[in-house]
Amino acid sequence: MPDALPALAVLGCLASDTTRIVNVAQARIKETDRIAVMTQELKKGSVYSRRKDGFTVHRSDLTGAHVNGHGDHRVCHGACPAGMAAKGKRSIDTAESAAVTYPGFWRILQALEQRFIN
């Protein structure tokens, strides 16, 4: 679950109801404290509440923002659906870290965006 947490957090913003991510305290000891990092970045465009072992995300209309990937490949991967769904300009610091586990990530994402978004 700690690896899926960033993407699930973002998908929670797009869900029709409240999303509760619980019992994932181990996510605090990955490349970053993913609970702290995702709630920090989500507060730029959504509503959430944080707990020791997880957090709750409420449906949000995402707006463009500059987010920090915190050098964590999973955070960068997870931020992408948010950027694609957001209205307005968006960017990710340390985006190059996505290549750690998926070297072709940005190329594939750009192709998908051109095909389905533009």
Query: What pTM was estimated for this model as a whole?
Result: 0.85
State yes or no: is 3 an active-site residue: yes
> Given this model, what pLDDT does residue 25 score?
93
**Residue 112 pLDDT > 90:** no
> Given this model, what pLDDT does residue 84 score?
81
pLDDT > 70 in the chain, percent: 97
Q: Rg of the chain's alpha carbons, rounded to an integer? A: 13
Q: Containing H/E element for 38?
A: helix 34-42
CA 16 – CA 33 distance, rounded (Å): 27
**Residue 44 pLDDT > 80:** no
**Residue 90 pLDDT > 70:** yes
